[in-house]
Amino acid sequence: MKILIASDHGGYRLKETIKEILIRKGFDVADAGCESEESVHYPVFATDVAEKIAEGKYDRGILFCGSGIGMSIVANRVKGIRAALCFDPLTAQLSREHNDSNILCLGGRIIGPKMAEEIVLKWLETPFLGGRHEERIKMIDAEAK
């Protein structure tokens, strides 16, 4: 699985922690920035990752900012993206099973590294259930501009 990650300054530390964990576990991880805790504009990074996921260049994306909210708003503006802001493993699991989320958003100022690791691993291991949920995903995609 090819995973593209990015953050703004508020999510930088958590991104770096999760990146190390994913690489250690054998995932193919690419980092689209940012490179420090120096202030940057999150829409640039969220758009870049979302467009690459939508184009199929990567299988999934993970975005980190202070709260996770800004990244999720921007990413969901890209057609074909279903970005989920998650705060625990259950919401991560449900976002995959029911919504086939392809981008996970996390708040670096909201959750700690251990919880983030649990969320990310649950999200990566959970398959989409399809079935009745498939029709709803098609409805979302049809409504996207």
pLDDT at 140: 84
Question: Does residue 86 carry a catalytic annotation?
Answer: no
pLDDT at residue 145 in the model: 61
Rounded mean pLDDT, 109-121: 98
Mean pLDDT, all residues of the chain: 96
Does the active-site annotation cover 9? no
Cα–Cα distance for residue pair 57/80, rounded to 1 Å = 13
Long-range pairs, 98-102, Cβ under 8 A, ≥24: 98/129, 98/133, 98/136, 99/133, 99/136, 99/137, 100/128, 100/133, 100/137, 102/53, 102/59, 102/60, 102/61
Query: What does the pLDDT read at residue 121?
Result: 98
Stated pTM of the model: 0.96
Q: How confident is the model over 8-26, as pLDDT tens digits?
A: 999 999 999 999 999 999 9
Q: Mean of the pLDDT values across residues 41-57? A: 98
Q: Which of 9, 34, 41, 65 is catalytic?
A: 65
- CATH number of 2-143, picked from 2.40.10.230, 3.40.50.300, 3.40.50.620, 3.40.1400.10: 3.40.1400.10
C-alpha triplet 73, 93, 115: angle, nearest 5°: 80
Q: Where are the domains of the chain?
A: 2-143
pLDDT at residue 82 tops 70: yes
